[in-house]
Amino acid sequence: MSQIDAATLQQRLNNGEILNLLDVREKIEFSTFNIGGLNIPVSKLAANINLVNYNKTDEVIVICSAGIRSDNAQGILSALGYQNVLNLKGGLIALQKLNNK
């Protein structure tokens, strides 16, 4: 499965790119800290796939805290026909570590 690392994602965010982000953490986690995008917990993703308003050919970056739930979400999206899904390697923890240097 394809991945994007924290440094590459941060660079793209800094460049002002409009990214299709899908945060698959629970709502409380999302409300505590997020970098934007849709928030659909991975446990509810398959049942709420209609809420994902990205085209199946667009790049979609799935994110969670450590990269485990987003890896599961990547598999769900791929199985449902999404063709260009990237998992944030190391999750938001890796992004926060990068920004706290």
Domain assignments of the chain as residue spans, ordered by start: 3-99
Question: For position 1, what pLDDT does the model report?
Answer: 75
Instruction: Specify the CATH class of 3-99 in words.
Output: alpha beta
Average pLDDT, the chain: 96
Question: For position 99, what pLDDT does the model report?
Answer: 83
Q: CA 82, CA 70: separation in Å to the nearest integer? A: 14
Is the Cα dihedral 53, 65, 18, 7 positive or negative?
negative
Tokens of 45: 């993703």
Is residue 3 helix, strand or coil? strand
DSSP alpha helix (H) spans, the chain: 6-14, 27-32, 42-45, 68-79, 91-99
Question: What are the tens digits of pLDDT across the range 60-73?
Answer: 999 999 999 999 99
pTM: 0.95
Question: What are the tens digits of pLDDT across the range 26-72?
Answer: 999 999 999 999 999 999 999 999 999 999 999 999 999 999 999 99
